[in-house]
Chain A
Amino acid sequence: MKALGIILAGGKNEHLKELTHNRALAAMPIAGNYRAIDFSLSNMTNSNIKKVAVVTQYNSRSLVEHLRSSKWWDFGRKNKGLYILTPYISHDNCFWYRGTADAIYQNISYLKDSDEPYVIIAQGDDISKIDYNKVLQYHIDKKADITIVCKKLEMQELSRFGHVEIDDENRIIDFEEKPLDPSDNLISTGIYVIERTMLIELIEAAEKEDRHDFVSDIIVRYRKRKRIMAYIHNGYWKSIAELDSYYQANMDFLDRELRQYFFKTYPYIMSKAEDEAPAKFNKGTNVSNSLCSPGCIVNGTVENSVLFRKTFIGKNTIIKNSIILHSASIGKDAYIENCIVDSKSVIPDGSHFVGNHGQHMVIVNK
């Protein structure tokens, strides 16, 4: 692979409420055993990319903790491997990252000191399985300046994303951020392929004009001058940046085919090994259509739910349509429906929490 990777995982997010008060979006737990960034990181290593930078700022601690040992994604190498780029103060810079382009600019030596001709930029909060080699090949074949991985979405979700208009040969002719009245349903996933030297040039040019955002100050601004191509991704793709989509993304994994696609079809999505004991189901459990992760101990009823690692479900407790994050402990005789229980929460015996469908209640009780 002739590319190096950048995963943007820095942004502040308020849509997930308390769940991201102390956690980066890219470090959000997903599908029981994983964290959101595992998907992009695995895509990188599975595309044979040897050198990847994770750019992070907001609540970076949670992410750094997860990435601390990069060997799980095969990035624990003598040469190349994983770089974690957090903001720092130096002689002539004392800013936090003021935007995605600025974040890359502040680490421009990462780009300048590499020799890979191309750069793949991906997002830390996307749930997808994409072979970046194919995107790169497309980029080369189409003689593109920039290639954006695009996805056709259902109409109602559109206003959260960058909206893309293409011509017959998939060249992007217009790009609008978060439009109020989207005319079409093609959106940008935020995955880009670009030549390394061109990226350096564009980032430096933007910085000179005091512009800091990769999308509005580079993609939108150059959409006519540069040849920007859309690569249409037809497989699963979901951003977890909203509470509802985060909930839905977790529930999607109750589908056997989706699990097969992500986790049991080569190449696999990898994560940090956690060494929890097998999940344990005691007498009187009644579990149906649910994921239960290693280290769980279940004594009650669990329906259409996702239990993360090391959760404890007490006797006679009923969990329905809910997500219980890792190390949460639910006492006995409790009833929890349409909720997301944050990690390490302790829910007392006999508690009763019911959220609404589409408006899930977030419970934090540490």
Chain B
Amino acid sequence: MQIDLSVKNVTKKFEDFIAVDNVAFEVPDGQFFSILGPSGCGKTTLLRMIAGLTEPTEGSIEIRGQSMLGIPPNKRPVNLIFQHLALFPMMNVGENIAFGLKRRGDRKAAIKEKVGTILERVDLIGFGDKKIDQLSGGQKQRVAIARCLVLEPAVLLLDEPLGALDLKLREQMKVELKKLQAKVGTTFVYITHDQSEALVMSDHVAVMNRGVFEQIDTPQVLYNSPETPFVAQFVGDNNAWSGRVRECKDTRAEIETTEGPVFLTTVGEYLQPGAEVDLFLRPEAMLIQPDPSLSDLNRFEVIVKDILFDGANSRLLAHPLDADTELLIALPQTRQFDYIKKNDKIEIGWDQQSGICFSRSQKKS
């Protein structure tokens, strides 16, 4: 497999502030690669370095095996889709798309043909003469993508392009963007702070925090086996418990939480008894009123504080009997739990396999 983009130990410093700290990754041809992180984690700086708009302080960037050091953005085989798209308002849709081709010196007939083909590909046939301000948000999005794709870049960089759209359109564009990427086969590097965007669209996701990559993996692995507490909390929702190891045999540990309940859970490595740990538990890992016949469950009682109804994504807000830690518990909308009311006492159970445990010393942040 050909490697389209290879970032080698790149660091970017702004005076005393380290925006990107020794980041390295590779993106193979045709992959949809996302960089997910909270705002201010350095992901935009990283993207701008790949595009050539900023130079790295240390390290190098290679595109299809060629070093990009000192090569200005107009000579790089990558294109960037800006957060606010940056379509040229002084030109119509066709001129916007032809802009890059003209700069490259393509012949007029060839330009016309390519613009027509790409407009068809993004479902905007006949929009060539429209002005930019006549387009809807989603159409602008597609023009911005077409304007870059028509140049057949080795890598297409996307800087949170869905951020400005309303929720409904964003959901729709997510699916559309993924389909488009599969159709054209261009390598996409997508940055976002929205974990759902990253999880839905990407083949691989890198989670970035404070200038470093915490984990690079497929969305499934990121969600099910996060490697750091940050990833566990940032990707998807998680309930956090802090506690202390009582006993550990092979990969099974008994953990006494500071709130009281004692849990048995599987752990990745042997933990010293007495070690302080953080235990993470997904809302959907907790079963409401589990069947008494099920063994291997950690069982405890909680009091329902509130019901957060959100369709298929409904949750219970609850707290353990004699503690006030808030817990989010998934509430399946199968009508089975319709009897649950505020201030009810219910039993919760979770499988020992589904807890994720980190010893405190591992914690980076």
Partners in one complex: no
